[in-house]
Amino acid sequence: MQAWPVLRAVYREQMSKNASRQRNEQSSPIPDKLYFRIGEVAKLCGVEAYVLRFWETEFPQLRPNKSGTGQRLYRKRDVELALRIKRLLYSEGYTISGARQVFATEIREPQKKRQPELPLKRSTEGEQIEARLKKLRSEVREILGILSAPPKRQNADGSPAREKQAKVPGPNLFDS
């Protein structure tokens, strides 16, 4: 009969450890720093450093900078990505290839998450602005045409030089 109190104590202890571990996983605040070393990221994520190095080989999105001495320097977004990878693999039960597919589908379909744009309301002011823009575009095209035209030759006195036409011997193909 004395086994029950011992079992209850063990059960309570395990439940409190699980609850504290879940709280740590959910609310692991990332310090406000520019760079993190691999040991710090390993502590924040609750994994070993070699796991992070392995994830770098498996997930192309996880690419920390390296210092001049070759030490990995993780940015805050890298730490967030490592935490997300851990959640996908350990909590949600994805395989590594499955987690890769999750990231691939997010890259392919970002527009579905965005809200569609609402059409702008037309007003007289908007039409005036649009007319001014069209006029500016046409003026810019004219300037571009002037700038892209070959330069005109001038004589020494500043008068326009006449273009010399090359004489082609014999009849021309287009002459009738």
- For residue 81, being part of any structural domain is answered with yes
CATH number at residue 82: 1.10.1660.10
What single string gives the DSSP state of each residue in the chain? -THHHHHHHHHHHHHHHHHHHHHHHHT-PPPS-S-EEHHHHHHHHTS-HHHHHHHHHH-TT---EE-TT--EEE-HHHHHHHHHHHIIIIIS---HHHHHHHHHHHHH-STTTSPPPPPPPP-HHHHHHHHHHHHHHHHHHHHHHHHHSPPPPB-TTSPBPPPPPPPPSS--TT--
Provide the pLDDT for residue 176: 47
- For residue 159, being part of any structural domain is answered with no
In terms of pTM, does the model score above 0.75?
no
Quick: pLDDT tens for 91-148: 999 999 999 999 888 887 765 666 666 666 667 777 888 889 999 999 988 988 888 8
Q: 87: domain range? A: 30-108
